[in-house]
Each structure stands twice: as structure tokens, then as C-alpha cells.
Chain A
Amino acid sequence: MSPRGRAIVWQAAALGAAGALVGLAALEAASNLKARGIASGFAYLGRAAGFEIAPGPLPYSARDTYARALAVGLVNTLRVSLAGIVLATVMGVMLGLARLSKVRALSLPAAGYLEVVRNTPLLLQLLVWYSLWQGLPGPRAALHPLPGVLLCNRGLFLPSLSERPALSGFDIRGGLSLSPEFGALLLCLATYTAAFLGEIVRGGVLSVGRGQTEAAAALGLSRARTLRLVVLPQALRVMVPPATSQFLNLAKNASLGVAIGYPELIAVTGSTLNQTGQAIEAIALATLVYLAVSLSFSLAVHLWRRGRW
């Protein structure tokens, strides 16, 4: 048999063994659940959830099904993750360039920031952001950082095209609003991931040979144009794989939102498994959803790189 044929046989055997193990575990789990009198199966997904979730992009009420509630959780996870990735990238590039700068007033604070953020637990940072936000005044005494913008312990309120936010009843209504849970989680994820991205940017830029910069200078390109046209395109090749894994980490870290009551996938899963008691199904489903999100993101990046290079 050719080496390639042998490899295929071995891989098929390994896959079969892994599949058999998973199947065995599932059978054992099912019989154990039955022995303990715990209901199993996914029929619960079609039943009414009966609990409320803070308003988000996807309409939802307690009348909707558990499946819908989970979709709301997923959308909330994706929402904070995408916003976090954009913010973290902007901050990360700025941090990386600041660290490379010859101006010490830029490079030293950037280095200090990286050390602090990378060497403290993420959950602690999240709780700090959240308690800082909770320390803001109430809706009646909301801060006005910019005209039309209101900031208080109930959230950040921005004017929309049609209306300006204003106090109404218990809360501020109208315009666009970000809850303190979303805001704290977004800031936490962005500032944390930016520290790692900053190092990736720095490493990427340093990986481009000095000769390239010198050649660009010899051609008379300005420093900014050298960076934009010569250094960054080459640095990007080095930066994309580790940055991808940081983006995926950010999406996974979004599950920490459960600690401050942000209704993301894990929080909704928690309420669901608690109301239904179907822990294995609920956790398995959350795992599969995360896996699917991560793998499709990886695949997209992979295809993009293949197309580009």
C-alpha cells in the first residue's frame, strides 16, 4: 500500500475510534440520565421559555420558545464580539505603532499599558469596568459628555436620526442605547484583546526587513507612505494568523458576560438549563454553537488568505 493509502487507512481508523468513543459516551449519558430520572432530548427547544431577556437586536418575549431565546443569546454574543473586534483592532494598531515609536512619551505608556492589561485576570478587569459604570449617577442626574449624549448607571444613550434620548418614567428612552452590561463587556474585551493585538502588530512590523524600509526611503517615500505601502502589506501576512486566534479568543471571552448579567449565549443557556433541567443538552448545544462560529470564522479567514496570496 502506498504511504498515502496507509495514511488514509490510519486516519479513517482514528476517526472511527473517536466516533465510537463519542457514541459510547452519548449512550452511557442517556442511560445514566434515565437512571436518575432526568428528562432528556431536545423537545424543550420548542416550548415557551417563560423568562424575559433584556431588549436586544432580535425581538423576543417570554412567550417565545427556548430556541428563540438561545438565538437571542447568540446574536448578543456576536454583537459584542464584532464590536469588540473592530474596537480592539483600532486600539491594537495604535498601541503597536505607539510601542514602535521612537518618541518615548508614546512608547513607554504603551508598554506600561500592555504589561498591566496582559498580566491581570480578564474577569477582574470586567468587574472593574462594570463597577466603574455602576458608580455613575442615576438617570435623573445623567452626565452629558457631548450634546444629546447621556451617560448614567443605566447605560449610554446616543441621539438617533429621528429622536434625542430623554428621561421618561424610570429610565432614559429614545435614540440609541447601550446597556452598562454591553458597554462594560465591550470595553473590557476591546482593551484586553488590544494589548495582545498591539504585540502582534509590533512583531509583524519588525518582521519586515530593514532593507525594505531603507529601499522605500531611497525611493523618496515619506515615512507614512513607507508604512502604508511597503511595511504594513508585508507585515499583514505575519499578523493575520495570530490576530485571527485573538479574535476567536475575544468571541469566547464574551461568555464572561454571564458574570455581570449580559444576556449572551452562556447566560441564556444557564437560565434554560435551569428551567428545564436539561444540562447536557443545553451545554452541548452551546458548545456546538461556539464551535460552529469559531470554525466558520477560521474558514473565512483561510479562504480570504488563499484568495489573496
Chain B
Amino acid sequence: MAVHRSVSPLIALALSACSGAAPPQEAAPRVPAAATTSATPTLDAVRRKGFVQCGVTTGVAGFSAPDAQGRWRGLDVDVCRAIAAAVLGDAERVRFTALTAAQRFTALQTGEIDVLSRITTVTFQRDVQLGIEFPAINWYDGTGFLVPRSGGVRSPRGLAGATICVSAGSSNERDVADYFRKNGLTFTPVVMERLEELTNAYFAGRCDAFSQDRATLAAVRARAPHPDDHVVLADVISKAPYSPGVMPNDLRWMEIVRWSVFAMIDAEELGLSSGTIDGAMASGDPEVQRFVGQTGGFGAMLGLDALWAYRIVKQVGNYAESFERNIEPLGIERGLNRLWKDGGVLYVPDLR
């Protein structure tokens, strides 16, 4: 039930905030009494419980959605699995928490999840005011519009006076207001929290356009009774770099999340994939040797073992594999999300 679920993390926050006088395990059940002294409380807690609690969407195909067997799949889901492979040795040791846009930050702040991996746009306010840390951008997107083909709308300027479906608490809610204001146009918003209900309202004709990040719109369009009746406009009205999110109290955990994402992108750049990484163990290339943990001792520096990056690629795959498995079937081009040497903006530091 949308109403109940949206309020529950708030109650959790209120309760945890009110119980500060209680013993630490009550105030933050997942962090041990030693949390205040350990440099990496999240990593310790993840090791102790044996799984990574990962916050994802309530279902956006390509990024995080359960398949027919109930298994979570998507680009963001693969980030969760990569972290589990690196830290716990097994990409399957992840538990997922489905969150609406409005619930996500509270869930992270209250310690309900260890990492948020949920099509989350990095913004100044989220970084500085909410105090969320964004370790590594793993997808570049932007706010766009989905419209019925029959309406004849070719560009967002054609939406003057239109009714637009937008999800509550998304960055799109502000992007659309900014765009229309900048262009001196008006619109009527229909704002709902759950993407499913918003999608139903759009398909029922409640709105003239659906505004969201473009990859999400492609996923929404794919769920239409007749996808060809709808078109994602080419215009992008904002930048939307996505990153996983973590809390700022654990630098080591943040580094692990950051380098798990970097490792997938580096692997693609080095030509290492889940199929070829075993053969690469014997490679003479010093970069590859460092990556698979033969030299360099980088795993130990992260507080992990030498094979952390090897396992990410072996069990989850490199970035291209994740893209081809999750995003490409939706008909979304890789575009900006190609490697820098292929004309995209994915440019990450090497393991050195």
C-alpha cells in the first residue's frame, strides 16, 4: 500500500532518532557497539551479517526490476552484486529493498540499507545538504518526455499548457518546472509517488506527457500495451548523472563502492570479461596483473583480498556485459555511457 510504505522509513527515522539514549544496538540495530571506534562500521556490519542490503527501485526495467523468476536484474542491481562479490566473495549475497524515490534517502540515512543503487541523480543539495556521498557515476542520463505519437508533439516546447505526469520527489519534478519557467510556458503537473501508478495514469490518458529520465522512459514505453503508440522525445532538458549513494560516516565503505564500479569499467577498458578473466590470470600485461591481484596488493589496501576485482568481473561481468544484458534490450543506445576512447564520457582512474 503506497501510503503506508512511503511513511514507514520516516517512522523508522523518528524512532531511531528518539532512542539515542538507548544502547547503541537499539539506536542503530545494524551497527555494533564498536561502531564508534571502528573506522568502517558498514563493512564490519556487512561481513558480520553476510550480505549487502541494497536499496533499489520498485521496478524500473534495465536498472532494477525483478524478472519472471523474481530475480532482481539491472545495471544498478549489478553494482550491488559487484560489491557483494568484492566484499563477501559471492555476488549472490545481496538482499534488495525496493524503495520509491521519496523513500530512498531516509532508508540510507537510517541504516536500513548499506548502499543505495537506484537511478539516483547526483545534485548539489543531495550531496551537501542531505549529506549523502556519491562515490562513482555509473550512468549518464537526462530528463526527457514520453508522449503519445498521435498527439503530434515533436519537442517539449509543443507541450505548452499540457498536463504532465511526474514522479514525486524526483529531480525531474524540479527540472520540468525549471524548463517551463525558463521558456515562459505553463503546465499542469500530476504528481504521484509510485512509478507504477504514474505509468497507469499516463497510459489511461490522464497526462499529455510523462517526464522522467530518458532511460526510464524507454522502460515505461516498453510496458505500454502498444509501445509504438508512444515516442520518447529527442530533447533532453537536464543532466542526470547517476551514482550509488552511501553515508559519509564510512570512508572505506565509500571507497569499496567507488572501486567496485570503477573495476567494472576498467575491466571493459582492459578487455577483461567474465569469459576471458580466467585466462588473464597468467597475462604478462602489468595492468592486467594488478587488476586480477597478482601484483600490487590493492585488495589489501581496501581491506579486501587480492581477488576482489577478479571476482567482480568473473561473477558479474564488465560494464559492457552489464549494459548489454540489462539496458540494450530496451532499445536504449549507449551514447554518453560509452568508454571515453569510444566517444563516451566513461573515464575512470586506473588501478594503480
Beyond A259-B197, A270-B6, A275-B169, is A28–B129 a contact (Cβ under 8 Å)? no
Instruction: Report how far A280 CA is from B105 CA in the complex, Å.
Output: 13
Beyond A134-B201, A258-B193, A271-B168, is A280–B14 a contact (Cβ under 8 Å)? yes
- Asked if A270 and B193 sit within 8 Å, CB to CB, the answer is yes
- Asked if A134 and B204 sit within 8 Å, CB to CB, the answer is yes
- Asked if A277 and B176 sit within 8 Å, CB to CB, the answer is no
CB neighbours (8 Å) of A39 from chain B are 129-131
- Asked if A279 and B188 sit within 8 Å, CB to CB, the answer is no
Q: Closest residue of chain A to B161, judged by CB?
A: A169
Q: How far is the CB of B304 from chain A (nearest CB, A)?
A: 26
Q: Closest residue of chain B to A259, judged by CB?
A: B2
- Asked if B161 and A51 sit within 8 Å, CB to CB, the answer is no
Q: Closest residue of chain A to B13, judged by CB?
A: A279
Q: Closest residue of chain A to B106, judged by CB?
A: A279
- Asked if A50 and B17 sit within 8 Å, CB to CB, the answer is no
Select A263's contact among B191, B198, B204, beta carbons within 8 Å.
B191
Select A181's contact among B174, B190, B204, beta carbons within 8 Å.
B190
Report the contact-size class of chain B (Cβ under 8 Å from the partner).
35 or more
Check: B206 CB closer than 8 A to any chain A CB: yes
Q: How far is the CB of A130 from chain B (nearest CB, A)?
A: 9
Beyond A52-B176, A256-B3, A274-B101, is A170–B163 a contact (Cβ under 8 Å)? yes
- Asked if A51 and B173 sit within 8 Å, CB to CB, the answer is yes
Q: Closest residue of chain A to B1, judged by CB?
A: A123
- Asked if A279 and B10 sit within 8 Å, CB to CB, the answer is yes
Beyond A38-B109, A271-B191, is A123–B102 a contact (Cβ under 8 Å)? no
Instruction: Report how far A263 CA is from B193 CA in the complex, Å.
Output: 12
Q: How far is the CB of A120 from chain B (nearest CB, A)?
A: 14
- Asked if B18 and A62 sit within 8 Å, CB to CB, the answer is no
CB neighbours (8 Å) of A32 from chain B are 16-17, 20, 27
Beyond A36-B247, A50-B174, is A274–B102 a contact (Cβ under 8 Å)? yes
B236-252 CB contacts (< 8 Å) to partner A: 247-249
Q: Closest residue of chain B to A169, judged by CB?
A: B161
Check: B295 CB closer than 8 A to any chain A CB: no
Excluding A25-B18, A53-B189, 8 further A-B contacts by CB distance (< 8 Å) are: A36-B249, A171-B188, A259-B197, A261-B192, A267-B191, A270-B102, A274-B102, A279-B13
Residues of A with Cβ closer than 8 Å to B?
Answer: 24-25, 28-29, 31-33, 36-39, 50-55, 61-63, 123, 131, 134-135, 138, 153-154, 169-171, 180-181, 255-256, 258-261, 263, 267, 270-271, 273-277, 279-280, 283
